[in-house]
Chains A and B, each alone.
Chain A
Amino acid sequence: MVAAPGTPRASSDALLNTQRSRRPRNMGQIIRWLLLFIGGILMIMPIAYMISTSLKWPHEVYNVKLIPDEPTIENYTYVLEDGRFYWWFVNSIIIATITTICNLLFDSLVGYTLCKFRFPGRQIVFIAILSTLMIPTEMLVIPWYLMSQSFGWLDSYWGIMFPGLMTAFGTFLMKQFFESVPDDFIEAARIDGLNELQIWWTVAMPLVKPALAALAIFVFLGNWTAFLWPLIVTNSVDMYTIPVGLSGFGDEADVAWELIMTGAAISTIPTLVVFLIFQRFIIRGVVMAGLKG
């Protein structure tokens, strides 16, 4: 028997399940849903407590109640008036944005070149770039530090950014996606008299927008939360990024937990908001990047 189009699962269920066996199955579905729901709520508890505590007065902080009795934004006012978080936030935004733009441009340009051009050395360049995936950042931080020291890059935006301006992961991801751009399109543009740079920018790039978006999410999030290298390369408080600043802030002996939670919330809320707005899109991007990259 041929299942009705569009409902293959339902029709085979109808064939095989008697009325009696359906009820327990539904009960099972309800229990399954409830357990997953409870698990999901537990998963977001740390985030919920972070935000809830950031809205509490000091005397309420050690109360396990999730909803504050008298919510206040006093902690946010205090932390932002302190001024440091403002700068760390600005630094992080600038660094993550510039790095993301650089990755989008260079990773896609290199990916495109390796995918669509035939030239001597192509294979070597591809393997060389791919092999850098094997090199852990932790191995490079010492030489990067020495390099930054001798060129005067320590404690500067450039110093924080330079190691991440291009990534092998992004290059590989973009190369995979340019495979799906038909060569005919490129050939046609060539006949129309566009030069190669124009073809890349006006013909190929618009066709891989979903991949660019996925890459942008990964690079931005990665740089927003990056810790080890910014910790090493910065030493004046004004140059810290949010994670480095937060780490030092939390360590100050006189800082109270509600203020630490406020700082943590400030560093987390922007990415959470972006995620909640573009949820479906981001999850699809993560799957694409995870499976293809």
Chain B
Amino acid sequence: MYRNLTIRQKQIVWAWAFLALPVLFYTVIRFYPTGNAILISFQNWNLLGARTWAGLENYEKLWNDPVFWKVFQNTFLYLLIGTPLSLVLSFVIAYHLDKLRFMHGFLRMLYFLPFMTSAVAMAWVWRWFYQDVPIGLFNNILSGFGIPQISFLNSTTNALPAVLAPAVWAGLGFQVIIFMAGLRAIPTSYYEAAKIDGVGWWTVLTQITLPLLRPTIVFIVVFSSIGFLRIFDHVFNMTTNNPGGPLNATKPLVLMIYDTAFNGFNMGYAAAQTVVLFTILLIVSLIQLRLLRSE
């Protein structure tokens, strides 16, 4: 049978033979669960009892849940503080590192190393840093200078930035590397022309470097935005005694989903929250596509 096929037909057979298992995988492990999550979000179900149709009940409950709005606010605070902060820091580091030759590789390694760590391990390290005197490193250093100790993880105002710090720290190296690759890609002839014209460094930066880096900047903004919107590991591990605490001050959406589904076993309500997360991420990605296309 196979022998009688034309070359083109044989290719089609091979292609689908190669794709059979992957197509099955993507259907069963990606698309079916996506539909299933959306379906469950319209149901009431606590894993044990019967699944009952709930219509929009879960979404209404979400809309009227003050905890959800607090969580929503926290999630966007992570995004709105984390993204600009890591963008500016990584650009400044990459911009200057790019101009250095002496021990360039060594400096680059120092900045990149945190990217290779595990979020859980580093969350515990930072958690220890944040403890009160006489345990935590930061407060011990402060008290060494005679400065009164700061309450980090137990304060409703300081806890969120304190949890965010290691997340920004760990992602910085990756962004520096990407920025440096972007800077390298700018042809030196632009800079030479600017030099001959006697243009100052600020003008070079704002008129040449930044505009030409736009694709890199868009990539980093989207990549880190999605990361901050999905923050979980750091928050969970730095607040295990009271996940998302104190008083939900650090609780992001993913932690609320985890809590609702696997501690409260309220699957329908949790699924509705995942649909909200999906929608938020989708909007962010679409904004990215628009920004890239308008180029």
Contact = CB atoms under 8 A, between A and B. Distances in A.
28 contacts: A12-B192, A29-B99, A36-B97, A39-B93, A39-B111, A40-B110, A47-B113, A47-B117, A49-B125, A113-B19, A119-B12, A140-B30, A140-B34, A143-B32, A145-B262, A146-B36, A228-B254, A243-B120, A243-B233, A247-B237, A251-B240, A257-B135, A261-B124, A264-B121, A264-B125, A280-B105, A286-B177, A290-B174
Contacts of A41: 110
Interface residues on A, range: 35 or more
Interface in B8-51: 8, 11-12, 14-16, 18-19, 21-23, 25-26, 29-34, 36-37, 40
B196 A279 contact: no
B120 A142 contact: no
A87 to B, nearest CB: 17
Point out which of B14, B22, B223, B261 has the most chain A C-beta atoms below 10 A from its C-beta: B22
A134 B144 contact: no
Contacts of A185: none
Interface in A248-293: 250-251, 257, 260-261, 263-265, 267-268, 271-272, 274-276, 279-280, 283, 286-287, 290-291
Nearest to B220: A290
B169 A43 contact: yes
- Majority secondary structure of chain A interface residues (helix, strand, loop or mixed): helix
Contact of B166 (A46, A117, A118, A287): A46
Given A242-B118, A267-B121, A286-B177, A257 B128 contact: yes
Contact of B137 (A64, A125, A200, A274): A64
A8 B173 CA distance: 29
Contact of B270 (A142, A147, A263): A142
A9 B126 CA distance: 43
Nearest to A290: B178
Interface stretch (B63-71, B79-87, B154-162, B274-282): B274-282
B225 to A, nearest CB: 13
Contacts of B202: none
Contacts of B125: 46-47, 49-50, 261, 264
Interface of A: 8-9, 12, 16, 29, 32-33, 35-37, 39-41, 43-44, 46-47, 49-50, 53, 62, 64, 106, 109-110, 112-113, 117-122, 125, 128-129, 132, 134-136, 138-147, 162-163, 165-166, 168, 171, 195-197, 200, 221, 224-225, 227-228, 232, 242-244, 246-247, 250-251, 257, 260-261, 263-265, 267-268, 271-272, 274-276, 279-280, 283, 286-287, 290-291
Nearest to B121: A264
Interface residues of B, number: 94
- Majority secondary structure of chain B interface residues (helix, strand, loop or mixed): helix
Interface in B259-295: 261-262, 267, 270-271, 274-275, 277-278, 281-282, 285
A121 to B, nearest CB: 8
